[in-house]
Amino acid sequence: MRIGNDPVALGLEIAKAGPDPDVVLEATYGWYWAVDVLTAAGARVHLAHPLGVKGFAYRRVKYDARDAADLADLLRMGRLPEAYVAPPAVRELRELVRHRAKLVAWRSGLKASVHAVLAKQGVHIAVSDLFGVGGRELLARAPLDGAYRGRVSSLCRLIDAVDFEIDAIAGPIRARLCGHGGYTAIQAIPGIGPVLAAVFVAEIGEVDRFPGPAQLASWAGQVKTLPLTGPAPSWMTWRAGRRPAPRRAGRWQTVRMVGWVAGPV
């Protein structure tokens, strides 16, 4: 049966399944509202992990009814690869943090475009921060032809607009993380500031869903896998006392610190 993307229609349909039904939902585009509707209706929602069911895409016969039957079979056999269903508060924090990250990426692209225009005109402005107060003054006086000057002016206006949005979203993020124990604890690690700490808190979600730091490290991709056959990998033959790369060591230290924090992070 095909159900439209409508909360009312989904709620009416799941009511026909009786009390406390088990429902498997693929983690596809816009799954948030469906999980909320199913949970409110008393269903036990199981979110299928996209990587775990990736093999569905390589089947010769693939359609919605077949996918639904296979997901139900995996759930019945206890072999369904499940993803974390973040609660609404964590999802909202993720929305804010990810939106800020996207804005910063846009701003970086705009600034790179300004440098590209200057390079086309052979203009080099000797300043450490081209987009600071002093750099903007030099940029305004740079000898650029008409079309190039117009593009640089447009890019600068866009950069200012994105800066405004980044500053505007910083307030709601700070408000949600104010007094958060995990957010404060992560910043005790050298190199982890407020922005990166917010990313850790938002993406990890409820840290108590992990039995311990080792499971958190595995989720973060910081646990190496052992080959079943063949020679030992190079990292197993390190000399005694040699430390891992600083970046990997920093991430592992962060994972350990997060694992020690009591309560949801």
Q: Each residue of 100-131: pLDDT tens digit?
A: 999 999 999 999 999 999 999 999 999 999 99
The β-bridge relationship of strands 44-48 and 22-26 is: parallel
Mean pLDDT of 86-106: 95
Q: How far apart are CA 136 and CA 245, in angstroms?
A: 38
pLDDT over 70 (residue 98): yes
Handedness of CA 227, 232, 233, 235 (dihedral sign): positive
Q: How many other C-beta atoms are found inside a 10 Å radius of the C-beta of residue 101?
A: 14
pLDDT for 106 equals 97
Using CA atoms, how far apart are residues 163 and 175, in angstroms rounded to an integer?
A: 19
State the average pLDDT over residues 28-52: 90
Burial 50-80 (b: 16+ CB within 10 A, else e): eeebeeeeeeeeeeeeebeebbeebbeeeeb
Angle 147-150-152 from CA coordinates, rounded to 5°: 110
